[in-house]
Structure formats: structure tokens, C-alpha cells
Structure 1
């Protein structure tokens, strides 16, 4: 072959290699929807306004907002749009994790890592349930578009038996957190009826919601009347079903009343769920916490080997393993009774949903064997196990969240809605585990394709 022909062949091969290399590199980077339109073409849409699938739709997004939705080929968009082939795939609203924990530390790095895990798993809104002053700066950075992160709502530092000793101190702490700009107050155990009353009264005066645990000495009925924005973990629910609770010390009841569930009078459940509905109390069950930490049928060593545990460091896994082993070795722990306790929690979830109580999706991650992002999908499955349909379970992390936050643009797919979207390979209305079969995520105005998600998850592996 002549030299000039060889040189031409080499130049052509090099050009093709560079083109393929550049295309591959681009495929691993997020695309910002503020700079160009993003179009999901011929995709099946799960709008979440009702249980239905809109087949073969074109969905157009620009600058973080859905601008158009219609039958494929009937929707116009610019010639420079990024077109994503959605044929045979399903597009649903991004999920919310309404009981998340962002590390309450001064260092942004571990916070950003947790946010990444959520976003890469299709979680586009989170509610941080243990606040820290640095979280206010973190929220500003997220809102400013600096991070690929879910939308972030944050509580202030915890109100509990150690941080609040008097009603006056409680009231002052409420005012301070309102002034600082936190979204809501987080209540933990250990509050007295007097300190709790001061928190609730002052919170209403300054107009800031409060949510979280129900202290044992306060009890579920005063908590409901006081107007929690949400009660999490079903805290106080089982206690509210137990006759003669006043004579049972808190330490004998166990975590979330796990040791006295056999004394619960289930005929009281209608009264409980009716009170929750009538007082507009939202509920975040965090059943994943009970199923993975408390339940006896899931051995700690088996949970430790779950694929997502690769994202947790060895020290954390050791702590989680010890926490579960310690619980199972407690003298009052009986595997059969704990199984009945889990069933009672499932019944409370089911009856709440059936009777119009607003449920919100949350798994308490990172917490014992609940890895951020991954555990939100586990929670969906546990809700279905409790008797909810896949559609009802999905509502807890989509449209219900929009209602709770008074954001009708969140949790549905329609023109004008926020473009928080997850592209799935299968239909989660038929199989809830399909929410884990992610082809891409649109979060914080950025499209994260499957290859990018895999690449970034690989970087986050600890072992």
C-alpha cells in the first residue's frame, strides 16, 4: 500500500477513535436541561394523577420544568434537543425520601455523598430529620444548582429530653430555629408533657411545623390533638392500643412498643386511624427500619452481605451488625412475638391507608441496614407487603409528597410540573421492584443516564 494511502487510513482510524471516545465520554456526563430541551420520546408515562399508563408519549423538559406532553410525533421541540429513546420504557415522577438523615457534621463531603446516593437511586426530594447549622448552607448550595442532589427540606437540631429541660427553654429553641430558617422542627423521645406543650404552642405562634417521634410520656392522643405535621415510625401507635399503658415503664415497652404489642387491643385501631385522618396527621411508617433492624427473620450477617452494603464503610457495618445482634439477644426478645409485632405494624399501615390517612414514603436512611436511596425502594416493597397496591405505595413517595409540601408541581407528570423524573425499564404498577430498574434520572435540572449512574456509584464503593 502506498505511504499516502497508509497515512490516510491511519488518520481516518484516529478520527473514528476520537469520535467514539468523545461520544463515550459525553455519555458518562449529565446533561443540564436549563441549556437545552430534553425529550423522552415514545415513552410510557405513569402520571400518578390516577392509576393509569399513558402509552407512547413524548415528554419535553426545559429548565427543570415539563413543558409539553402528548402522543409521540404530535409534540414539537427544538432541533438541538437531547432526545432520549423511551420506547418500551416507563417514565414516572421522582421519588421522595421523607425520613432521611444527612450527616449532622461540619464537613460537607459526607453530606454530599449521602445526597449522591439518593439522587443516583431516583430520589429527587428528601426531608432531613436531624438538622445541623451547616444544613442551611447545604440547602442554599443545592437551591443554587451547585450540587447534583435531591430537593432538600431540613429540620433543625433535635428537640429531646437532653436538649430541652424546661418549657421556657423549649419555647426559646423553637423561636431560634424559626429565625434561623429551618423548614420544620424535629422531635425526639424524652420530652415531658410540659416541654412538648410549650413546643407545640410556640410552633403554632411562629408558624413552623413539627414532626417526628412521639415521646412515651406524652402519648399518641395528645400528640394527635397537638397537630404534628407528621408522625414517623408509627411512634406511639402500638402504645395507644395497649390498655393500662400508664402502669408500664417505657423501658419495659421497648423500642416502638415492640415488647408489649401482644397486649394491644386491635379493636382500638379504628379510633386511632380516624383521629389521625380527622386531625390531618401525616404518617411516615419507616417499615424498613422495623423489617431490617427489629424483625427476626432477617439475620444480621445476611443483611450485611446485601449488594448495597458496599457503599457503607466497615465501621458503620460493624455498628449496624452489633445493633441488631444486641437487640436479638435482649432477654425480652422473642422471635415469634416480634413476628406478630411486625404484622401489627403492617395492619396499622394498611388500615391507615384504607381509612384516608396520608402516608409518606420514608425509610430512615442511613440507619441500621438501610442504605440511602436503596432503602427507599425497599420501603415501597414493604408497603406492598402490608397490603397496599403498587400504585398506592408509589403515591406515598410522589403525589402525596406534593400534597404534604403544598407543592402541586411535585409528584406528577403534567405540563408545568417540576421535571423530577425517573426512567424505568419495567412497569412498577405491575411489579413494585421495577422502581429499582433505573435507566436514568432527571434531578436538579440534570439528566443522569444509566452509564453515568453506574460510573458514579462505582466511585462511591467503600469496599
Structure 2
């Protein structure tokens, strides 16, 4: 038996509900059986008194854009031990982050290059970033080639920009068909109402963002429920867009940026999906665009607050960032606290199932059983809290 970490007298959110107080054991990189705590060698054990604290599975952010290896590690310092990148290019950056994830505290999933139409809003932004028309998808033949290229790169899922104006519906449909041929899940950018309709028509597995031009109605939400479509609302990004003076200025310069943006529509859309039973996973759209930057790691805690504001219970919000996120991104070794699973664990001071802001009062973080330094950005009152090493 190797060195054990034993956390005693702690409330545990196991991914579904809060249980305890009880004992949780970290055995190497995994969560161990509680029996390991019996008669353990004191010289090979770290014991933590979790009185007044709650143990959570490592948090999962289902929509990020990571800049570099340092930012990837920064996520873990906020308790975000798994992230799903929704556009990583060029290919050398993709390979660097993949390698950093293997050795670092944060697991990184990615789509590599997303499918986008050359003359769409995203296409114009990519042109400004130096990506020529050869990166875009223009027709159904290129759609099949695009999917094959991503599969060859070893991506975890296929990302599509489904906004309108953009691809013809036939191109979106073809991407979905080709992705399924290769056994790949699809995630579609759908930032306004018409995009949700297009994404549902294509049958994409996950729709990310929620519209601010119009709240989702019963027709769309019912279709999501019947198709078992998963939503990743990214309320942090939608709030940033609604409050962005830069975007407001661009809307006067570029007509393509003119679109009604009412953040209440985003909140109402999340409420409608939640009430209809649409599966919801937490994501932030973490990025460093400079237009409406969303901070890596820290933003997921704000996302949980916004989800509760939209009508989710704190327990439902916690599930969205743990067990539900793991389930819908096919991560079977995490998202819950159970023996045999990966020891991605966050210890917080308080009861986040009652007050969601308690997720920000982090005492300790483990990723794969290794303790991770806590970000100083959480504030001096977050460190240690009332949980002490014995």
C-alpha cells in the first residue's frame, strides 16, 4: 500500500447528492475503499479533518479556448481539473496542449479546428487571425474531408459553427452523418435562435451557447428533449457579450455584428430547458479574445452562480459541472466520488448544495491524487477555511 490521504468527517457531494459526514480515502491516483483507512500506518498517511467542509468531484468546464500550457494549469488551481476545448489551432498548438495535459493537472479534450463557413462572422474573424479560406468548409465534399482530417488528428469530438448566415443546412447535415460514421460526438455553436433550429435539424449531440435574440420556446425545447440534445449554455460568455461596449461599437461599424442581445433571454432559455428536462452541462467559453475575456478556471464558479440565477438548484448546477458533464463527454473515470474513480477532488469550506458560492471557498484540490496549489485569485479567506490537516 502506498501513501494514503484520509479525509474524515466531511460532507460529500458524490456527483448526485450530498451524503455524510463520512470518510473518503485517496489511494494513489484513485479514490480508494474506505476500509483502507482502518489500521493504516500513521507514517504513511495524511489525515485531514473535513468538519464544516464539503468534498466535490473535480469540476469540468465543457467549453473553453485555452491559450497555452500555463493557462491549462491555471484551470486546476481553481478546482477545474478537466476542460473541453472548442477550437484549437494551428495544429502545433493542439499537439502541445495534448502533451501538456498528459503530464499536467488538468485533463484537456479538444475538437482541434472547428467547421466554419468562410464568409460567416466566424469566418471573418478567422481571416483576421491569419487563417485563409483553405481552413473553411465550403460544401458537402469538404465536410466529409473535414471530419476525416479531425479524426486523423485524434480529436475527442467534432465542433461545428452552426450560426446563420453560415453553412447551408446540407453541409451541417453532412458533418453530422460523417461524424457518426467515425463514432464521434458533435458539438455545435448555436448562439441565436435560428442556430438552435439548424443545430436540431442536423441532429447535433450538444448545442453550446444560448440565444439572446429570442428565448427558446416550447417547440425548440420539446425537440431538444425528444432528441436527447445536451445544452452547454455558457452564460458567462453571454453575459459578457450583453455587457460588451466593444461588441456594441462593432455593431455600428459592421452590420453583421448587429443582433439583438438581451441577457434575460439567455437566462429564460436555460430555465425553459431545465424545466423541460433537457440535459445541461456547465461551460464558460473561457477565452483571451480581448473583446470579452472569460477568465480560465475562475469563470466556472461564476457560471454556477448564473445557472442558479437562471433557475437550477445548487445541486443541479453542481451536477452540471461534475457528473452530468462527465456523462455527456464520455468521461467514465471522473465526475463522481466513488472508489475506483480518478481522484480529481475539490474540498470547499461550507455547503455549496445550499449556497453555490461556497465552491469558491476552496481548501484543497487534488488532480489524479496529486495536490494542486490553489489560485491566489480566490482570495485569502479561501485557503484552508475550517478544514485542517491532522
- TM-score, normalization by structure 2: 0.81
In the other structure, the counterpart of 1:193 is 169
Residues 217 and 84 of structure 1: is their aligned pair in 2 closer, same or farther, counting only changes over 3 Å?
closer
1:75-106 Cα deviation digits (max 9, x unpaired): 45443022223222211111111001112xxx
Match of 2:249 in 1: 326
Q: Could you tell me which runs of 5 or more consecutive residues in structure 2 were left unpaired when the two chains were aligned.
A: 119-135, 381-390
Partner of 1:347: 268
CA distance 1:289–1:141, change in 2 (3 Å): closer
> TM-score, normalized by length of structure 1?
0.69
Residue 131 of structure 1: aligned partner: 88
Question: CA separation of 1:101/1:84 partners in 2, compared to 1, >3 Å: closer, same or farther?
Answer: same
Task: Provide runs of 4+ in structure 1 moved above 6 Å.
Answer: 215-218, 328-332, 455-458
2:203 to 227, 238, 251: 227
Tell me what 2:112 maps to. 156
Do the aligned partners of residues 217 and 198 (structure 1) sit closer, same or farther apart at CA in structure 2, a change above 3 Å counting?
farther
What is aligned with 2:144? 171
Aligned CA distance change for structure 1 residues 77 and 359 (closer, same or farther; 3 Å): farther
Unpaired segments of 5 or more residues in structure 1? Answer: 1-33, 104-110, 235-255, 301-321, 459-463
How far apart are the structure 1 equivalents of 2:97 and 2:285?
Answer: 20
3-state secondary structure, aligned to 1:442: strand
Matched, 1:277 2:277: no
Shift of 1:356: 1.4
Matches within 5 A, 1:52-201: 52-55=18-21, 57-69=22-34, 75-79=38-42, 80-103=44-67, 111-132=68-89, 133-134=91-92, 135-143=94-102, 146-148=103-105, 150-162=106-118, 163-188=136-161, 189=163, 190-201=166-177
Give the Cα–Cα distance (whole angstroms) in 2 for the partners of residues 218 and 168 of structure 1: 24
Write out per-residue CA displacement over residues 356-390 of structure 1, whole angstroms, 9 at most, x where no aligned residue.
11101011112514211111111100011111111
Q: Does 1:38 align with 2:11?
A: no
Aligned in 2, Cα 1:457/1:114: closer, same or farther, shift over 3 Å? farther
Structure 1 counterpart of 2:124:
none
SS in 1 for 2:279: coil
1:202-217 to structure 2, matched below 5 A, reads 202-214=178-190
Call closer, same or farther: CA 1:76–1:280 in 2, change over 3 Å.
farther
1:364 is aligned to: 285
* Displacement of 1:157: 0.6
- Report the alpha carbon displacement of residue 41 of structure 1 after superposing the two structures with TM: 2.4
CA separation of 1:455 and 1:347: change in aligned 2, threshold 3 A: closer
Structure 2 CA distance for aligned equivalents of residues 283 and 178 of structure 1: 23
Q: Find the structure with the greater CA-based Rg.
A: 1
CA distances 1:183-238 after superposition (whole Å, capped 9, x unpaired): 1111124222232222122112222222121498984334214321210112xxxx
Q: Secondary structure at the match of 1:53?
A: strand
Q: Aligned in 2, Cα 1:222/1:342: closer, same or farther, shift over 3 Å? A: closer
Answer yes or no: is the 8 Å Cα contact 2:25–2:34 preserved in 1: yes
Match of 2:383 in 1: none
- Distance in 2 (CA, whole Å) between partners of 1:213 and 1:343 is 19
Aligned match of 1:420 in 325, 337, 344? 344
1:47 aligns with 2:14: yes
1:171 Cα deviation from its structure 2 partner: 0.8
Which structure 2 residues correspond to residues 392-407 of structure 1 after superposition, within 5 A?
392-407=316-331
Is the alpha carbon distance of 1:272 and 1:217 closer, same or farther for their aligned partners in structure 2, counting shifts above 3 Å?
closer
CA contact (8 A) 1:38 1:61 kept: yes
- The answer to whether the Cα contact below 8 Å between 2:8 and 2:48 also exists between their aligned partners in 1 is yes
Count of paired positions: 350
